[in-house]
Structure 1
C-alpha cells in the first residue's frame, strides 16, 4: 500500500467509539502572556512549520463496506485557514468567559472529511494575555505524542528558532479509488498469516526470551481481563451524556506535590491521584452520595511508546484500571492506600496486557473492533478517565510570547460524564476538567 498509512487497531477504535454525544478529540486551552499575534502572523507561523507534521494535511479515506481500517490520504482541498481560526472575548475577557468559550469549541465534533484538527486564536483576555485552543482527534495523537506536536509550533526561547524549509513545495498525492482502497485492505488482510508465521519463526530462534515475555504478557492480559469482568461501582459520574461540555481548570505548584512525595513516599503520580481522589470524594459527599467503603475505578492511559517513536503520530498507549479509595478520608492514609494499590496494579502487568491486546487489535477485522467498541460503551468498565502527561519544565514561547499555562482536555466516553487531564509545565501542574454540560 505505497504512500498510504493505515490506522492501527487502536487508532481505529477511537473512530468506532465516537458518538453524537461522545466526540473523540483531545484538546487544550493554552494561555500566553503579552499581546496576541495577528491572525496573519499566526497563520504564517503555522504554515512555516506544517511540513514537520505532514499528517496535519491528511484526512481519512474509508474502505468500502468496512472491509478494512481507514487510511490517511493527502487532502487535495486542504486550506490552512479552515483549521486555524480566530475569535475574541468581549474585552476585558475574564477566565470564566474563556472557560465557557473552550467548552463550546470542545463540544463540536471534527469534520471527518477534512484533516482532524483545529487551532483557535482567542483575543481579548484581560491582563494583556491571549489564548490558543487546540483540538486534535484521538485517532491522530495519543496525548503523549501531542506534547511533541505542540513543540513544533513552540520554541524554547523568545527568539523563534529557524526551521529548515521543506525540500519541495507540498502537492497532494492523488486520492486512491474505492477499488484501490478495497484491494489494498484485502491484500493486507491476506498477509496477516505470513506475519504471524514470521513471529513464530523468531520465537523458535530465541525460545527462552520469547517464553518469558509470553508468560508476562499472558499474566498481564489475565489481570486486565479480570479487572474488566468486574463492573466499576455505581457513581454519579456514570450517566447518559449529551454532546455539550463544560471545561474548567485548576493550577497548583508542582513543588508542593514533590514535597509530599518526598515526605510520605510513593510516586508523584500517586500523589496526583490521591489529590484527585480526595476531591472526588468531597464532591460525592457534598451531593449526598455515601463514600463509605467506596473504591472508584479510573481508566489511566499509560504510554507504551518507545523513545525512537517519540514525535511519531498515532496512538501508542495502553490502559490501567486504577482503584481510587474515595472512602478514605484521612489524606495520608489515602495516599498510602493508593500507593499500595497502584504498586499491585503495576506488578500485575495490566499495562503489558493492555499493550498486547492493543497489538492484537491490529489483526482484528473492523467488524470485531466495532463490536468491541460498542461493548465497551455499554459496560461500566470504569467511572472516569484520569490522564497525567509530563510536560517540559522550562518556559515555552509562541512568536516571542511566553506560555503561561496549558490546560489539557481528555474526551468523555459514552455514559461517562467526567474526564480529568493533568499536565505539569514549568514548575506548575495544570488540571483540566471536562464534564457533560447537564451534569
Structure 2
C-alpha cells in the first residue's frame, strides 16, 4: 500500500514559491565541548543523527509525483539518501559574532529545499565566540505534521549529559515504484476509495490556481520594478516578498517576565505578547509611515487546546488559531498588558487551554515540533486576514544536551507567507526567553531595530511593574493561580 501525501501536506508543497520557501528553521547554540571536555564536533552530530533518525522514517523519504496527476504524490524511500548531504558543515571567521551568525542563517533560510530529496537540512556552524557552536535546522512544513512525524530536533536532545542509548536500524531503502506501478496504485485507490479521487481533484485545482496566482504576483512585481515603483502594502507591516530573508535573534530572561506577571497579573504568555505589542508600537513609530492611523495589529497566535474535533497530534493536545488585536496605539505599557491579558481570558474560560507546564514536560525538545505545527496553522488561516503571526512555545526549564554538549539557547526561525513580510517566534528554555524574528530583507530592512525595541519594551514593562508607577486595572477577579501559558 502506497503512503500518499495528504491534501493538507500537499497544499504546502503546492503553495511554495521562490518568494515563499515554506520551511521552519531553528538556531540552537551549544557549548563547544561536552561535560567531560571532549569537543562537540561535526562528526559527533552526524553520529547522533544517524543513531536517532530511525525514529522519524519520513526524514529518509522524498516526494514522488504520480504521472498525469491521477492521484496525490506518494512518500517513497530516497534511494540516494546521503546523510552527509543533509547534515552540512560551515564556519564563521573566529571569533564569530552573533551578527555574522545571523547573516549566515539569513542566507541559508532564504534558499528553498531540494524537492528531489528528503525535505530537511541541518548545518553545524563552528567558530562562534567563547568556543561555542550553532546547529541550524531546516525542515519543510509538509514533512512535520505532529501526527505522523515530529521534528527531528525533538529527538536529538537529552535531559542528561549522558546520551540515551537507542537502538538504530540497519536501514535499506525500498525500491522506488515505477511509473506504471504509481498509475496502477492511483487507479486502484480511486476505485476503492472515492475520497482519493476527490482529494486529487482538489489538489489539482489548488495547484493550478496557486501556480497562476504566483505567476501573476511575479509579473506585477517585475513590472513595478522595471517602472521604478515600490509595491503598495496592504498595511504598515504587510507587503510583497522578495526571495531574501533577514533573521534577528533576541535573548531575554524568564525571571523578568515572572516579575511582571506577579505585579500585573495574567500569564507569561500575556507578558510576552505585551512585550511584542510595545516593541511593535515603538518600531512602527520610527518608520516613515509612523502608526499610519493604526490602533491595533491583528495577530494570529497558535495555541494548544484539547479539542476532539481537531486533528490529534502526538504532543498530547491539538493546535488551534487564536486571533488577538495587539493595542499598539495604547501609550501605557501597563494598560497594554491588561488589554492583551483580557483578550486571552475568553480562551482560558473555554476550558480548552493547555497549561504551559504540561507542554514543557513533553519528552524531548518539543518546541521545535510545536513551532512547525504553529506555522502550519498560521498559513492555513491566511484567508481570514491578519497582520502578523506570533508563535510562543514554552520549553523545559532545565538544561538539555546533544551528545553531552549543553544547549545554551534556542531561537525559532519561522517562515513567511505571502503578503506577510514579518513573523515572530518565541521559545522559553532553561531560564531564558528567546525571540526569533524572520523578515523580508527588502520590505523590512530595519528588522534589527525591532529587536532593539523588544528589549526596550520588556525593560519598560519591568520598570512599570517594579517601580510602582503604573498598574494595570483589574477588570476581573483572578479565580486561580496563573500558569506560565
**Aligned: 1:310 with 2:314:** yes
| Structure 1 residue 163, shift from structure 2 partner | 1.2
1:105 match: 108
**Aligned: 1:135 with 2:138:** yes
1:122 match: 125
1:334 match: 336
2:204 match: none
Distance in 1 (CA, whole Å) between partners of 2:402 and 2:253 is: 23
Q: Deviation per CA, 1:158-211: give whole Å up to 9, x if none.
A: 122211233xx111112223344344445545566689xxxxxxxxxxxxxxxx
Q: Deviation per CA, 1:130-174: give whole Å up to 9, x if none.
A: 1111100011125899986323212211122211233xx111112
Are 1:319 and 1:350, in contact at CA under 8 Å, matched by a contact in 2? no
The 3-state SS of whatever aligns with 1:120 is strand
2:225 match: none
Distance in 1 (CA, whole Å) between partners of 2:401 and 2:7 is: 35
Residues 20 and 88 (structure 1), Cα distance of their counterparts in 2 relative to 1, 3 Å cut: same
**Aligned: 1:271 with 2:264:** no
Distance in 2 (CA, whole Å) between partners of 1:190 and 1:318 is: 34
Distance in 1 (CA, whole Å) between partners of 2:352 and 2:7 is: 19
The 3-state SS of whatever aligns with 1:133 is strand
Residues 386 and 68 (structure 1), Cα distance of their counterparts in 2 relative to 1, 3 Å cut: farther
TM-score relative to the length of structure 1: 0.77
The 3-state SS of whatever aligns with 2:285 is helix
The 3-state SS of whatever aligns with 2:113 is coil
Residues 194 and 29 (structure 1), Cα distance of their counterparts in 2 relative to 1, 3 Å cut: closer
Are 1:145 and 1:311, in contact at CA under 8 Å, matched by a contact in 2? no
1:175 match: 176
Distance in 1 (CA, whole Å) between partners of 2:70 and 2:277 is: 43
Q: Deviation per CA, 1:17-48: give whole Å up to 9, x if none.
A: 21110110000111112345332222222112
The aligned length equals: 374
Distance in 1 (CA, whole Å) between partners of 2:282 and 2:12 is: 32
1:295 match: 296
The worse-fitting range, judged by mean Cα deviation, of 146-155 and 36-45 is 146-155
1:164 match: 167
Distance in 1 (CA, whole Å) between partners of 2:328 and 2:259 is: 22
1:55 match: 58
The worse-fitting range, judged by mean Cα deviation, of 426-435 and 58-67 is 58-67
Residues 270 and 184 (structure 1), Cα distance of their counterparts in 2 relative to 1, 3 Å cut: farther
* Structure 1 residues 214-363: aligned runs within 5 Å: 234-288=234-288, 289-290=290-291, 292=293, 294-303=295-304, 309-310=313-314, 317-344=319-346
1:361 match: none
Q: Deviation per CA, 1:362-388: give whole Å up to 9, x if none.
A: xxxxxxxxxxx99987x6822121111
The 3-state SS of whatever aligns with 1:127 is helix
1:203 match: none
Distance in 2 (CA, whole Å) between partners of 1:179 and 1:349 is: 52
The 3-state SS of whatever aligns with 2:106 is helix
1:205 match: none
Residues 111 and 432 (structure 1), Cα distance of their counterparts in 2 relative to 1, 3 Å cut: same
2:421 match: 417
1:426 match: 430
Are 1:144 and 1:303, in contact at CA under 8 Å, matched by a contact in 2? no
1:26 match: 24
Residues 175 and 145 (structure 1), Cα distance of their counterparts in 2 relative to 1, 3 Å cut: closer
Are 2:144 and 2:151, in contact at CA under 8 Å, matched by a contact in 1? no
Match of 1:64 among 45, 67, 81: 67
Structure 2 unmatched runs, 5+: 34-38, 197-232, 354-377, 445-485
Structure 1 unmatched runs, 5+: 196-232, 352-372
Residues 426 and 311 (structure 1), Cα distance of their counterparts in 2 relative to 1, 3 Å cut: same
2:364 match: none
Are 1:241 and 1:414, in contact at CA under 8 Å, matched by a contact in 2? yes
The 3-state SS of whatever aligns with 1:43 is helix
The 3-state SS of whatever aligns with 2:95 is strand
Residues 147 and 404 (structure 1), Cα distance of their counterparts in 2 relative to 1, 3 Å cut: farther
Residues 148 and 77 (structure 1), Cα distance of their counterparts in 2 relative to 1, 3 Å cut: closer
Are 2:237 and 2:420, in contact at CA under 8 Å, matched by a contact in 1? yes
| Structure 1 residue 265, shift from structure 2 partner | 2.4
| Structure 1 residue 401, shift from structure 2 partner | 1.2
Root mean square deviation, CA, Å: 3.2
Q: Deviation per CA, 1:50-98: give whole Å up to 9, x if none.
A: 2122111011122333343332211011000000000110111111100
TM-score relative to the length of structure 2: 0.70
2:223 match: none
Q: Deviation per CA, 1:299-336: give whole Å up to 9, x if none.
A: 22234689984269xx9643232221111121111121
Q: Deviation per CA, 1:204-251: give whole Å up to 9, x if none.
A: xxxxxxxxxxxxxxxxxxxxxxxxxxxxx9422211111111111111
